[in-house]
Amino acid sequence: MSFRGTYTAIITPFRNGRIDVPAFQNLIEKQIAGGITGFVPVGTTGESPTLDMAEHVELIRLAVEFAAGRCQVVAGTGANATAEAVELTQAAENLGATGTLQVCPYYNKPSQEGLYHHFKTIAENTSLPVMLYNVPGRSGIEIGVETTARLARNCSNITAIKEAGGSVDRVSQLVQAVPAGFAILSGDDPLTLPFMVCGATGLVSVASNIIPETMVRLVSLCLENDFTAAAALHREIYPLLKALMSLDVNPVPIKSAAALMGLCSNEFRLPLVPMTDTAQTSLASTLRAFSLLK
């Protein structure tokens, strides 16, 4: 399996403190109808830090069941303890996930050598394709370019990286360093176009929770090297992409948008809380401007 195309970092809907299973299924159906390549359950956008282990595994099970082989299911099974990441990844594999997203360990901030052995150990304990996840804004460190290339060379099932470091130059460095066939995917919706101009081959999207068809179109245009049309679409949707990433910390704006659109309840688990009234009003105005809300 190759990582190429549009993947949705799917939200986790709650109702009365529990996972809202019907809403989760409807969200997945919306993604599949929108033409996405796959989706990522229990990532940061899926509020994985506030899920217990049983809920984490259950969401993966539900994701696989509801996808029913119609798209890829790339389970978020990373952790800042290698043994926990291995346990979650093996559970995902046993449940039928088609890939795994492995976040850079957060808070304990290992060295590059520690990162190498962390990801290598996970890869050695699963047959799933592994997508690394570089997100220094949340983890406090980055997966170095040379560390990424070393993992790509030495671990046959580490085949991609989700790049959320915000640097076009870093994408260019990765393209030069990694083996042919190793995929680089944008982890930031507003940076999809410049990342793909530099050689990225896909996107793990937040915005596609509510506009899957549009994000699929943007990525497809880039993959077809139609960057003129892609740039026009980027300019058109940029205000929405910006709002979803700036009005509050992710995933608060995207879940709030989904709630306004009737896709789920506006329920979070502490320490996340709903948006301020001012931010909510701004978000609703943006959604109306894009005909996503009456």
Q: Phi/psi class of residue 152: alpha, beta or left (left: φ > 0; alpha: ψ in -120 to 50)?
A: alpha
Exactly one of 7, 30, 116, 162 is catalytic; which is it?
A: 162
Exactly one of 116, 133, 242, 294 is catalytic; which is it?
A: 133
Q: Phi/psi class of residue 291: alpha, beta or left (left: φ > 0; alpha: ψ in -120 to 50)?
A: left
Could you report how far apart the first and last alpha carbons of the chain are, in Å? 40
Crossing angle of helices 227-246 and 212-223, rounded to 10°: 140
Q: Identify whether the C-beta of residue 182 lies closer than 8 Å to the C-beta of residue 159.
A: yes
CA–CA dist 10, 43 (Å, integer): 8
How many of the other CB atoms lie within 10 Å of CB of 61? 18
Please give the helix or strand (H or E) that residue 101 lies within, else none. strand 99-103
Q: Identify whether the C-beta of residue 8 lies closer than 8 Å to the C-beta of residue 258.
A: no
Question: Is 294 in the active site?
Answer: no
Q: Identify whether the C-beta of residue 184 lies closer than 8 Å to the C-beta of residue 195.
A: yes
Question: Is 120 in the active site?
Answer: no
Catalytic residues, by residue number, are 133, 162
